[in-house]
Structure 1
């Protein structure tokens, strides 16, 4: 297959949209949590992994459709986020007054949680990959072949992206959240309930990661060790899109999905991780402010 055939392939374009939409809702939570609280949640990928396993067991044991599982997993993940904030993160935010120390402390905390969650799931589930069949019938439109589960995943991810964008752009809470991301101290001075913004951001972030896990598990195999590459992908999206720029994050997710999909098609599936980490390193070196970072003028 020539380069032109690869570039014009409808199948690869559809794969790009699915991968990009999935990365977008994973990175959404990371962007909200880091933007509002400056917490480096390197365990974000483990939330996606747990969501995949919960969706799997709800389907296997209770026969619950993954579409309904997304609601259950979102609620479960949101509750976990609230409990984590109440018992761990709130005291950390109060005690640590410097951004650098807060980032370093949160990095160590979430790194420990990442290893803990990963090893507990590996102990309970073993390292054997899991998968289940749901809506895997193939629909053909000309040269394009799409499975039903990927169509559903794309539609759900797009609905979440559009809904969150409209909510944050047009609601009063969205205005408060953007003010906390850009000027947290000024937001507190003018009366914004910063703690409430923190809690809502954390619950939205955890819920979106859990939903992403259900969608991922619906489409492909997963294991206890899928979290770290997904967290790296989310960090790439946040950096490329610009901190606090939700729309920029969605565009960056599509760009990363295109790089990964077309890069694998032109090289080899074995180089997927190389492409992902290569983009991560290149982004940190050449685009530390991101492609779509907001420019603030004095």
Structure 2
């Protein structure tokens, strides 16, 4: 394998893994903290992608300028969704297992609602725009600018959130709740305020992943399901509640997909992902990075 091909596959795998990491970290926060299995999580990636596409094409301004706007809108939508749906679900459920079961059913409903809403607003056609697609050449390696930008932003967002959880008082509270919700409540952590914030943060991360995705790929209303599945695979591989584990597992999965599909067949992408998923479940049921 020559250097240019290796670099191309590596960058492609890192970009894919970076997007997986952003959306998976958001889902891991929701599921690990509140046992909310939001099957519609990927639809917020789709909404973030379409919002970025619309704002960019209507105004002509760089999608980078709209990135914080889309993240803020998704965060606000997450707060509203938690208040209207998931807060009541948690309050009326008798156990965490019941929260998981009921959230799964609600998630399916939300998934179809958001998909059909996107179809009504944007249509079923594939949408996309050209942004920083100029190639960069260095030592025989050719990489487009938008891929490098997306990789940088995805890694920065993931690492930034990890540092937030590790270095701040808010992060310590969230990690405490991830380890033991009852113990966190007993030591005085206000779980009633923290739950909606963390849920909305997870939705905002999905919206960010969608914005980044729209800069390099075309999008359609049905792309969310695939990314929800990949996020579930990532958090299983990385370990439930392990944010750093989700990041590492996402990068690993992206690289395996990139190199694996090149040397086998692109149609085997999902087979490779599910194969790794089953293998890890059989050998390390708690995930690669679970403590």
- Structure 2 counterpart of 1:174: 171
1:263 and 1:139, CA in 2 relative to 1: closer, same or farther beyond 3 A? same
- Structure 1 counterpart of 2:248: 251
CA distance in 2, matches of 1:261, 1:164: 26
The yes-or-no answer on 1:36 pairing with 2:47 is: no
- Structure 2 counterpart of 1:95: 92
State which of 184, 188, 200 in structure 2 corresponds to 1:187. 184
- Structure 2 counterpart of 1:113: 110
The root-mean-square deviation of aligned C-alpha atoms, in Å, is 1.6
Report the secondary structure of 1:219's partner residue.
Answer: coil
The yes-or-no answer on 1:79 pairing with 2:83 is: no
With the length of structure 1 as denominator, give the TM-score of the two structures: 0.93
Report the alpha carbon displacement of residue 285 of structure 1 after superposing the two structures with TM. 4.0
- Structure 1 counterpart of 2:124: 127
CA distance in 2, matches of 1:200, 1:226: 26
1:7 and 1:246, CA in 2 relative to 1: closer, same or farther beyond 3 A? farther
Deviation readout 1:133-156 (Å, 9 max, x if unpaired): 011111011232111111111111
Report the alpha carbon displacement of residue 68 of structure 1 after superposing the two structures with TM. 1.5
Judge conservation of contact 1:6–1:266 (CA < 8 Å) in 2: no
Moved more, 4-13 or 266-275: 4-13
Moved more, 248-257 or 140-149: 140-149
CA distance in 2, matches of 1:194, 1:22: 29
Judge conservation of contact 2:47–2:207 (CA < 8 Å) in 1: yes
Deviation readout 1:41-92 (Å, 9 max, x if unpaired): 1111100011110000001001121111210110000001000111111111
With the length of structure 2 as denominator, give the TM-score of the two structures: 0.96
Report the alpha carbon displacement of residue 267 of structure 1 after superposing the two structures with TM. 1.3
Report the secondary structure of 1:145's partner residue.
Answer: strand
Judge conservation of contact 2:4–2:140 (CA < 8 Å) in 1: no
CA distance in 2, matches of 1:202, 1:165: 16
Alignment of 1:196-275 (within 5 A): 196-275=193-272
1:6 and 1:222, CA in 2 relative to 1: closer, same or farther beyond 3 A? farther
- Structure 1 counterpart of 2:160: 163
The yes-or-no answer on 1:138 pairing with 2:132 is: no
Moved more, 130-139 or 280-289: 280-289
- Structure 2 counterpart of 1:61: 58
CA distance in 2, matches of 1:169, 1:293: 16
Report the secondary structure of 2:136's partner residue.
Answer: strand
The yes-or-no answer on 1:27 pairing with 2:15 is: no
Report the alpha carbon displacement of residue 284 of structure 1 after superposing the two structures with TM. 3.8
Judge conservation of contact 1:70–1:210 (CA < 8 Å) in 2: no
CA distance in 1, matches of 2:171, 2:61: 33
Judge conservation of contact 2:280–2:288 (CA < 8 Å) in 1: no
| Structure 2: segments with no counterpart, 5+ residues | none
CA distance in 1, matches of 2:149, 2:129: 15
